[in-house]
Each structure stands twice: as C-alpha cells, then as structure tokens.
Amino acid sequence: MSSLQRRKIIFLTGTRADFGKLKSLMLRLQADEHFEVHVFITGMHMLSKYGSTWDEVRKAGLLNLYRFINQNENDSMDQVLAKTVAGLSDYVKEMLPEMIVVHGDRIEALAGALVGALNNIRVAHIEGGEVSGTIDEVIRHSISKMSHLHFVANEQARKRLVQLGERSETIHVIGSPDVDVMNSANLPSLEEVRGYYGFDFGEYAILMFHPVTTEIKLIRQQVAVLVDSILETGQNFVVLYPNNDHGTDIILNEYTRLRNSNRIAIYPSMRFEYFLTLLKHAQYIIGNSSAGIREAPHFGVPTINLGSRQHKRVQTPSVMEVMITKRDILDAIARVPSIPRTPRTLFGDGNSALAFHQILRDIATWDRDIQKYFVDCM
C-alpha cells in the first residue's frame, strides 16, 4: 500500500441500523494513515423524532463528519431521494473522494450509488445480494448494479450478484460487519442498558414493526391486531420506533395505546451496541425487522416474524413465520419456550472489518477499471 497515495473515502449513513453495520469498517480505515475517512450523515439520523442519532456517529470517535437534512416529515421516498442526491452531489464535488461506501437497501444508499456512478467515483456496496422484500429489494439490487465493488455477507449473496450479471472479481464475501460487534467482548452489560434507558424489566421481549410500503392499505389493521395481541399477553416489552417510511405515523398512532402500560417501554431509537445486548438477553423478538432474521439467530434468540416484509430471507429453526392475526400471534408467543436457543453463524466469523481493510489496501482494487458491463451467466 505504501506506493499508493492517501485515499479519500466517504461513508454514507442514514439510519441507526446501517451505522451499526458500517461503524467497524469506518473505524478500521480511519486508523490507517493511508485512508482519509469522511462520513456523510443524513436520513433518520437528522430527525429529532427518531432521537437525533447523528450524535451517536460523533460519539463513535469518527473525525470528519458532515450532516445533511434530506427530508421533512411529509416527504415521499422519491422526494427524499432527489434531495439526498442534490446534497451529496454538492458535497462530493467539494470533497473529491475516490470512493463512496454505502450499505443495504435504503433510499440514502441509492442516492450514494447514483452520485458515485454518475461522477465516475468508485461505489462500494456493503451487503448487496440480499433478499429484502417489499420495495427495499428493488432498491438493493439497483444499488448493486450501480456499484463497482461488492462486500457481501455470505456465498448465497455472492451467487445472486453473479446472477445479476456482476463480475465475480468485484464481489468479496466478508460476512456481515455487525457480527464483528456481536462477537465483541466490549458490549455493555444488560444492567448498563437498563440503567441507560430507564427500564427495570426482568424478562422481556422486543417489538420492532416497520411499514411494508407495498401493503400500505393493510398497515392500520395489521398494527391494531399486533397491539391488541401485545396487550393481551401480560408480558414486558421493549418497543422501538419503525423506520421513517410511508405508513410510520399509522404505526406510531397505534403505539399510543401501549404507553399507559408499565410493562411496555417505547423508544425512538437505541444505540447499536446497547440494542445488541438487549436482543441477546430477550425472551424473543416479534415484528418484521431484519434483526429477527439476521441478528437474533446469531444469539439463538427466537423470532416471531410477522407478514411479508422478510419474505424469502434466510430462515432458521428459531424463526417462526406468522400471519398477522391475533390467534396466530398469541399461539406463536406460547410456543416460544419450546424453541431451543441455539446460536447459528450464518453471516461470517466477526472479521468483516479486517477483510474489508485488506481488500482496500490491495493496489489491484484501485487499478481495476470501473467501467460496468453485464456478465452473462454460463
């Protein structure tokens, strides 16, 4: 790497979730004098409604931060995309980076890929090749097609990108970066999490339910059934706000019925490491978050996965697929104690940041032509 100049890289983060995946990668490169790391912070991070989580990025020890408000409460996804492209484009033309790193399937990541591709800047996509369900899957695959480097979680994801016509030499299986954090010995204790967030439940479950934008007409009925079921259980719950997609306000309006219960604690967001500790010690997680499909099985925590949002994602014996009816939800909750808490490693061994760093230190990574072309599967 000594023969290379110092490389300027922009990481784009728009949510508490993608920052949790990107943080170890950011910090790893920042510690290397051959890289100059900048972070473009936008999306949900910038909304006070969701806890102004941009401050968690600052607290992580990252140095070169830029905050950009890309939406107001009434913006549709296309408006958010347009604003993010405009703001990031101006920032990129000022900073002149050699790479933009994006994660996952959110609108902000799509904006990052667009800006990079249209300005001949390398785009590195973390966790492409996944099956996301709803509109997210279309966004994720679109990001992959505009990206020049792919850092995927497992062999199955790699095969999907090959099927999409991506060049095999641009696809690197590094695992999921959040496994680096999950395997860390530095996670806070459960007592620290309880103290920080001010709840004292012994046993508890986690509820995370996001809008499915392609089923917007069903959301009100679905979340009403879910809230009725939660109240009927008599159990303790930690509830986290949904993503800020179309339909979120419908969910939050129904959640007002939970606020009068001393068995339920509701939070706009939670620090990633604190959430992982909370998840590790939970009785189960219920809802339609990817955390129930990806992170929970790593700890052996049972998942009650509701509806279609995670359709066709990786399944394990600890994940119950459940229709959104009160009877089905309550039956699934009753089955939780019978599910073995067997941890399953599906997304790497916790060395994603090291692998990512080594690939970016390789001169061949930077010498490779960024011209995109389709590779036919043989």
Please indicate, yes or no, whether residues 140 and 14 belong to a single structural domain of this protein. Answer: yes
Residues 28 and 49 grouped into a single domain: yes
Q: How far apart are CA 76 and CA 18, in angstroms?
A: 20
Q: Is the pLDDT of residue 314 over 70?
A: no
- Over the stretch 26-83, which tens digit does the pLDDT of each residue have? 999 999 999 999 999 999 999 998 888 999 999 999 999 999 999 997 889 999 999 9
Greatest Cα pair distance in the chain = 65
Q: How confident is residue 344, by pLDDT bands cut at 50, 70 and 90?
A: confident
Amino acid at 84: T
pLDDT for 200-224, tens place per residue? Answer: 999 999 999 999 877 889 999 999 9
Count structural domains, the chain.
Answer: 2
> Band of the pLDDT at 2, cuts 50, 70, 90?
very low
Q: What is the pLDDT of residue 157?
A: 94
Cα separation, 91 vs 64, in Å, equals 13
* 263 and 131 part of one domain: no
Beta bridge partners of 286: 207, 304
Whether 329 is in a domain gets the answer yes
Are 32 and 176 in a shared domain? yes
What single string gives the DSSP state of each residue in 147-200? -SEEEESSHHHHHHHHHTT--GGGEEE---HHHHHHT-TTPPPHHHHHHHHT--
Q: What is the mean pLDDT of the chain?
A: 93
Gap between the Cα atoms of 333 and 23, Å rounded: 34
In a domain, 24, yes or no: yes
pTM: 0.89
Cα distance between residue 127 and residue 159, in whole Å: 13
The answer to whether residues 164 and 207 belong to one domain is no
Q: Virtual CA dihedral for 323, 324, 329, 332, nearest 10 degrees? A: 20
Model pLDDT, residue 4: 58
Same domain, 361 and 294: no
The answer to whether residue 374 is domain-embedded is no
- Are 258 and 307 part of one and the same domain? yes
Residue 375 lies inside a defined structural domain of this protein: no
Cα angle, residue 77 at apex, residues 72 and 81 outer, rounded to 5°: 85
Q: What is the CATH number of the domain that holds 301?
A: 3.40.50.2000
How many CA atoms does the CB half-sphere of 221 hold within 13 Å? 8
Kindly state the percentage of the chain with pLDDT values over 90: 80
Q: Which domain holds residue 223?
A: 190-338
Whether residues 150 and 208 fall in one domain: no
Q: 377 in a domain, yes or no?
A: no
Pair (55, 194) in one structural domain: no
Residue 239 and residue 287 in one domain: yes
Q: Given pLDDT bands bounded at 50, 70 and 90, which one contains residue 184?
A: confident
User: What is the three-class DSSP state of 60?
Assistant: coil
